[in-house]
Structure 1
Amino acid sequence: MDITSRTGLPRLGRTSATRENLAGWLFLAPVVAILGLFLLLPILMALWVSLTSWNGQGSPFTGKVPFVGLDNYTGLFTRDDLARENFMVSVRNNIYYVGIVVPAQTVLALGLALIVNGRLLKGRTFFRSAFFFPSVTSSVAISVVFLFIFANSGAVNSLLGFFGVSGPAWFSDPRGVLHLLLGGLGVVDLDAPPAALTAGGPFGLSWWEWLSGPSVAMCTIIMLVVWTTSGTFMLMFLAALQDIPVTLEEASVLDGAGRWQRFRYVTLPLLKPTVFLVLTLGLIATWQVFDQVYVMSQGNPAKTTLTPAYLSYRTAFRDFDYGSGTAISFVLFLIIVVLALLQRWVMRERAADPGVRRRTRPRRS
């Protein structure tokens, strides 16, 4: 009697594999059910809300709420009204925020990791704990402390008054630092900016508004976030540095490579996966910034600290326009996904460049 299947495998073996697959799915079923109930289902419900004009009263799933389709999404980009202006202002603010925070916290975290990884540093355990401490402290508590520091009678204004800079109006100035810099250098007149830049621009904002730069209040939030997040990323870089074989560094020293050459051609290429992880996590976190804005400024002064995450909250829970607020959150989700994929593609292309591999070889001094 032929006890094999047409594929040549014993029938008994195929039955055993089927039982193992069934057992695996039975063990996974509770986790899949929990994730589907508390993760996937709320996402689908929120997606439905974004397609309606629900104002928070009643249930959005009864059929009594008007269905508007993609109007909440298209209105953020095409409709000429205050909602689109607020959304574009928040995107502009977040672009400057991401463009400064992500590189700054990555460089600072790598520098701190190199410092505490040094063999000659005394008290390394203390410095590791000190650098990491702000990351485990409540962001709300640190934001309140910063709020007191930059208050009208706070330490910063007292220090500036000592140097002759009087008045706390600088913190409430809605102009961007790039505008203030150009005006201070006499390049442009802030009261009468160039007509070519104020005539028009994409998505309802003029080029003058897009090129304003972050306000002083946003720069304060940027300093706070860089200080509080660098400790976590420092630990990631530190773990990666300690995983690098000592023999590679010793070989580069014998080959005549200096300290900078060892870092550039040996250490940094081996840290590329960690750099990608830090950049990705930083990109996601900076586009979702909310608590610091909520505690310190709530979008003020003049919407210069308004971000898409806070705008989504304000639109839904203050203006009771849950459809538009949810639509903003899904647009923000798409922005994060696209930028993360683009970052992955850019770093992968650089890693595959044969010219890069040739330049990573240490040169003799």
Structure 2
Amino acid sequence: MAGTTTAAGRGRLRHRVSAVTRENVAGWLFVAPVVIILGLFMLLPILMALWVSLTSWNGQGSPFQAGVPFVGADNYTRLFTQEGLARQDFMTSIRNNIYYVAIVVPTQTVLALGLAMIVNSRLLKGKSFFRAAFFFPSVTSSVAISVVFLFIFANSGAVTNLLGLFGIDGPQWFSDSRGTLHLLLGALGLVDPGSPPAALTSGGPFGLSWWDWLSGPSVAMTTIIMLVVWTTSGTFMLMFLAALQDIPVTLEEASMLDGAGRWQRFRHVTLPLLKPTLFLVLTLGLISTWQVFDQIYVMSQGDPAKTTLTPAYLSYRTAFRSFDYGSGTAISFVLFSIIVVMTLIQRWVMRERRS
């Protein structure tokens, strides 16, 4: 009797193991097409590009043929440690992109949240119209909007003429390479932009002086920033709007009964519940701003005086115009590393803290 029971138990165990095995095989069969496609069109090209970044391939023939010189990490060290134009251009692009990220990400996030709260208000009439109006720039081609901005901010464009009505002589928007922080300090009489302090021009990290690092975004880059904030806030507005509509009305009513004011309700009720959406918006904003390319390509191509040069555009220019595919690919992998590190830091900062 005991032997019969043991045999039955072993049979049930084999049946369960067999069922689990069949489920695993079926699962892998279902995901196999996606895994194969991602491997062929994503993972394999990344590995191929990594190899190219370790060579000095000039685009002639195949990068995997025997005659392509292997330079190891030289393409990377030139960006950080070796004196020369390559490091200067790369660090200039990093400086420009840091200011770009520091202004665009907070501005578009705050603007998107504000717009979402406006169109989510129960007192607002014509909500559908305003939602569509705020979201419309996000679905319009960035290239088309960039061309329109070139006409609007031209020397004889609408913005310059509008400022002229108030007696303001506007700058040459896309030809002005002056840093906005330099202009601000000069307007306040703290420094003379034409002759900066020697302590700020005598040295600095990575081949750029402290005066260069502290220039702020140029007037041309500031114009591009205004365009990007206007065109991206609508998408993030919809994300915040969806999150706001998921917040139970009873929570807001309970906080009002407890005597909480509008700011207290926003700070202690609304904002904590929006934290997952806020993390998503900030992450997407960081990734897109570090990868900015199309507006730079259409509106400035890195000019004037390389003040709108970004790592993404520099990678393209180095590879496809200078035919230095190894250095161009190395720049793209450094940019990828920056995005990953920034995302991990942001995730650590916004993590749930247990008391």
Query: When the two structures are superposed, what TM-score results if normalisation uses the length of structure 1?
Result: 0.93
Task: Give the match for residue 45 of structure 2.
Answer: 42
Q: 5 Å matches for 1:90-109?
A: 90-109=93-112
2:99 & 2:171 partners in 1: Cα distance?
24
Does structure 1 conserve the Cα–Cα contact (< 8 Å) formed by 2:154 and 2:172?
no
Where does 1:1-365 land on structure 2 (aligned, <5 Å)?
1=4, 2-3=6-7, 10-166=13-169, 168-169=171-172, 171-348=174-351, 351-352=352-353, 354=355
> Is residue 119–residue 127 contact of structure 2 (8 Å, CA) maintained in 1?
yes
Question: What's the CA shift for 1:167?
Answer: 6.8
Looking at structure 1, the residues matched to 188 and 8 of structure 2 have their Cα atoms a distance apart, in angstroms, of: 86
**What is the letter of the counterpart of residue 189 of structure 1?**
D
CA distance in 1, matches of 2:134, 2:180: 29
Distance 2:348 2:175 in 1: 40
Structure 1: segments with no counterpart, 5+ residues: 355-365
The secondary structure found in structure 2 opposite 1:76 is helix
Superposed displacement of residue 165, structure 1: 3.5
The residue type equivalent to 1:238 in the other structure is L
CA contact (8 A) 2:311 2:335 kept: yes
Q: How many residues of Structure 1 are paired with residues of Structure 2 in the alignment?
A: 351
Unaligned 5+ runs, structure 2: none
Q: How many angstroms apart in 2 are the aligned matches of 1:100 and 1:150?
A: 20
Q: Is the 8 A contact 1:3 1:10 kept in 2?
A: no
What are the Cα deviations for residues 109-143 of structure 1, in whole angstroms up to 9, with x where unaligned? 00000000001110001100000000000000000
Identity of aligned residues (%): 81
What is the RMSD computed on CA atoms of the aligned residues? 1.5
Which amino acid letter does the alignment assign opposite residue 185 of structure 1? L
Q: Residue by residue, what CA displacement relative to the aligned partner does 1:179-228 show, whole Å, maximum 9, x if unpaired?
A: 01111111111121101110100000000000000001101110100000
For residue 292 of structure 1, what is the amino acid of its counterpart? Q
How far apart in 1 are the matches of 2:327 and 2:224? 26
8 Å CA contact retained: 2:179, 2:215: yes
In structure 2, how many angstroms separate the alpha carbons of the residues matched to 1:166 and 1:188?
22
Give the TM-score normalised by the residue count of structure 2.
Answer: 0.96
Q: Deviations over 1:237-279 (max 9, x none)?
A: 0000000011101110111111111111100111011101100
Moved more, 35-44 or 23-32: 23-32
Once residues 339 and 333 of structure 1 are traced to their aligned partners in structure 2, the CA distance between those partners, rounded to angstroms, is: 10
1:323–1:5 CA distance, 2 compared to 1 (3 A): farther
